[in-house]
């Protein structure tokens, strides 16, 4: 009863001060946690991930960002966002790849002319309809092989780039972009990205509308109605119980 009597002596102003203090501390902790997490995200290097089929992916955690924070966090992602912001993007990514062929044997054909030689060369390695390396050209030289000129007639590289956004197995509060290509000459060297204002995105809001009604316990300060032999009384003070809520504002 001592605690109840003390609560009854708490004024409305004191209750408001406590509520505001709790809200400010909650928002501060949330912001600090998000800033620390996002700093770590952009400092992380690529990691490796394999699916059940043995396909290897490069992976990197991506941060949840507000649009206003992008410029401070990552210039390249901020620049891309500015180009498409009218389309209200949810996820913006940048993937850097390197196509590298260290050494291959290229079939050649030598044609002798009266005053020079022509060496035609062509290479075609196809892994699938979407993944291939094809190039051809000609090298010409004089009959004494003292000078030569090489022309690349055509270079064609077909590459599929698969990007997925997945939950992290060890930390389901975070997401990663994973990337791979079925072209063995293509290597993913960097992945950057951000998930931008997901709770404000029109498509997400349409799929997950805000729920206004709820039921549960409450603690607060307000009017209390009591009935007794001396009639009905309305008094102000702290109160607690179970209620049905309609949320005007949520965060």
Other beta carbons less than 10 A from residue 114's beta carbon: 5
pLDDT digits (tens, 9 = 90+) for 35-78: 444 444 555 678 888 888 999 999 999 888 888 888 888 888 99
Q: What is the mean pLDDT of the chain?
A: 82
Q: Do the Cβ atoms of 138 and 152 come closer than 8 Å? A: no
Structure tokens at 22: 């709790």
Residue 158 has what pLDDT?
Answer: 97
pLDDT digits (tens, 9 = 90+) for 90-138: 999 999 999 999 899 999 999 999 999 999 999 999 999 999 999 999 9
Residues 66 and 177 in one domain: yes
**Neighbour-count burial of 92, counting CB atoms closer than 10 A to its CB (0-12 exposed, 13-18 middle, 19+ buried):** buried
| pLDDT level of residue 152 (50, 70, 90 thresholds) | very high
Collapsing DSSP to helix, strand or coil, 9 comes out as coil
pLDDT digits (tens, 9 = 90+) for 3-13: 545 545 555 55
56-65 vs 186-196, strand pairing mode: parallel
Residues 49 and 157 in one domain: yes
Collapsing DSSP to helix, strand or coil, 189 comes out as strand
Q: Number of folded domains in the chain?
A: 2
Residues 34 and 75 in one domain: no
Percent of the chain with pLDDT over 90: 45
CA 194 to CA 66: how far, in whole Å? 9
CA 138 to CA 4: how far, in whole Å? 95
Residues 137 and 53 in one domain: yes
Residue 46 has what pLDDT?
Answer: 87
- Residue 185 vs residues 54, 94, 98, 239: alpha-carbon distances, Å: 18, 20, 8, 69
| pLDDT level of residue 168 (50, 70, 90 thresholds) | confident
The DSSP output letter for 106 is -
Range of the domain at 72: 45-196
Q: Is residue 22 part of a domain?
A: yes
Residue 68 has what pLDDT?
Answer: 85
- Tokens 């290509």 locate to 181
| pLDDT level of residue 32 (50, 70, 90 thresholds) | very low
- Tokens 């075609």 locate to 124
Structure tokens at 159: 């590459």
Q: Do the Cβ atoms of 81 and 92 come closer than 8 Å? A: yes
CA 41 to CA 171: how far, in whole Å? 13
Least confident of 20-29, 58-67, 160-169: 20-29
pTM over 0.95: no
**Quick check: 211 pLDDT over 60?**
yes
Residues 139 and 188 in one domain: yes
For residues 23 and 234, which has the higher predicted lDDT (pLDDT)?
A: 234
């Amino acid at each position: 009863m001592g605690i109840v009597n003390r609560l009854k002596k708490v004024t409305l102003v004191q209750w408001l001060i406590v509520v505001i203090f709790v809200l400010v501390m909650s928002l501060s902790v949330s912001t600090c946690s998000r800033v620390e997490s996002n700093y770590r995200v952009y400092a992380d290097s690529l990691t490796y991930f394999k699916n059940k089929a043995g396909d290897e992916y490069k992976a990197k955690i991506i941060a949840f960002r507000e649009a206003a924070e992008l410029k401070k966090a990552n210039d390249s992602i901020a620049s891309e966002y500015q180009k498409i912001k009218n389309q209200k993007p949810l996820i913006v990514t940048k993937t850097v790849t390197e196509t590298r062929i260290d050494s291959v044997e290229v079939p050649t054909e030598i044609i002798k002319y009266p005053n020079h030689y022509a060496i035609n060369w062509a290479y075609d390695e196809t892994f699938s309809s979407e993944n291939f390396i094809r190039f051809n050209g000609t090298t010409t030289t004089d009959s004494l092989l003292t000078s030569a000129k090489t022309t690349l007639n055509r270079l064609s590289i077909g590459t599929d780039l698969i990007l997925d956004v997945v939950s992290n197995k060890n930390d389901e509060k975070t997401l990663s972009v994973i990337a791979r290509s079925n072209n063995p000459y293509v290597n993913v060297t960097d992945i950057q990205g951000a998930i931008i204002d997901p709770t404000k995105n029109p498509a997400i809001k349409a799929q997950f509308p805000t729920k206004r009604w709820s039921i549960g316990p409450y603690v607060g300060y307000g009017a209390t109605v009591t009935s007794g032999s001396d009639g009905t009384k309305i008094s102000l003070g702290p109160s607690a119980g179970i209620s049905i809520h309609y949320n005007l504002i949520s965060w």
